[in-house]
Amino acid sequence: MEELKNANNDEKQTGVEDKKEDFQSNEDIKKSSNENKGAETGNDSQENKAIALLSYISILFLIPLLLKKSSAFCQFHAKQGMVLFIVEVVGWFLTPFFGLGVLVNLFALILMIMGIINVLNNETKKLPLIGDFADKFNL
């Protein structure tokens, strides 16, 4: 009698394990289909990620701005990089006069890091405070 109970318990456990495996395989399928969708829609961002990164390194925003005019991803980040560069230059000029340049350049550094993270994540998020200004440029 006890052997029957053990056999039934074993069958129940294997049934639960099979369901877990099915669930995990379904999750894997969903993940792979989501990755494929991102690959189809994100070709521009994947191909131009390295060049778009240059947008947030001082005057190097000119490289993606001039070389990748057909890439919406590069142009988006290059315009933000251009506005960020203008903020940095203003910070350099404010430093000797008011000492505010340190705060402006710290703000610019934070925005630079945020922009680089956006590029690495293939995102086109506007940076705080300067993103709207960048949209106004039609280059």
Specify whether 91 is located in the same domain as 117.
yes
Specify whether 76 is located in the same domain as 117.
yes
What's the mean pLDDT in 96-118? 88
Residue 139 has pLDDT above 60, yes or no: yes
Residue 127 has pLDDT above 70, yes or no: yes
pLDDT at 91: 85
Residue 124 has pLDDT above 60, yes or no: yes
Residue bearing the bigger pLDDT, 60 or 105 = 60
Specify whether 93 is located in the same domain as 137.
yes
The closest of 116, 125, 135, 138 to 49, measured between CA atoms, is: 116
pLDDT at 103: 86
Residue 4 has pLDDT above 60, yes or no: no
Task: Give the end-to-end CA distance of the chain in Å, rounded to a whole number.
Answer: 83
DSSP conformation class of 36? H
What's the mean pLDDT in 42-55? 85
pTM of the model: 0.65
Of 21-25, 84-88, 97-101, give the lowest mean pLDDT range: 21-25
What's the mean pLDDT in 16-33? 46
Q: How far is CA 45 from CA 34, 61, 81, 106, in A?
A: 16, 16, 16, 28
Q: How far is CA 139 from CA 44, 57, 64, 101, 122, in A?
A: 19, 19, 12, 28, 22
Tally of domains in the chain: 2
Specify whether 26 is located in the same domain as 47.
no
Cα–Cα dist 105/96, whole Å: 13
Specify whether 37 is located in the same domain as 47.
no
Enclosing domain of residue 37: 1-41
Cα–Cα dist 49/43, whole Å: 10
Residue bearing the bigger pLDDT, 86 or 17 = 86
Specify whether 9 is located in the same domain as 48.
no
Across all residues in the chain, what is the average pLDDT?
77
